[in-house]
Amino acid sequence: MTFGFAEANSVDGPATYGGFDQGTFQSEKEYDWYRKIEKYIIGKPKKRSGLSANQADAEIAAASFSGVVLTLDKKSGPIPEAKKQGGKIIYLSDNLLAAQSLGEICRSFENK
CA 70/CA 82 separation, integer angstroms: 13
Tens-place pLDDT, residues 36-78: 888 888 888 888 777 788 888 998 998 898 888 999 888 899 9
Residue 89, domain member (yes or no)? yes
Q: Mean pLDDT, the chain, as a whole number?
A: 79
Q: Provide the whole-model pTM.
A: 0.71
Are 69 and 98 spatial neighbours (Cβ–Cβ below 8 Å)?
Answer: no
47/33 Cα distance (integer angstroms): 23
Phi–psi pair at 82, nearest 5 degrees: -65, -40
112 lies in a domain? Answer: no
CA distance readout (Å), 94 to 71, 80, 88: 12, 19, 19
Is the CB of residue 102 less than 8 Å from the CB of residue 70?
Answer: yes
Residue 16 lies in a domain: yes
- How many contiguous H segments (helices) and E segments (strands) does the chain have? 6, 4
Query: How many folded domains does the chain comprise?
Result: 1
Residue 100 lies in domain: 4-107
Domain contains 21: yes
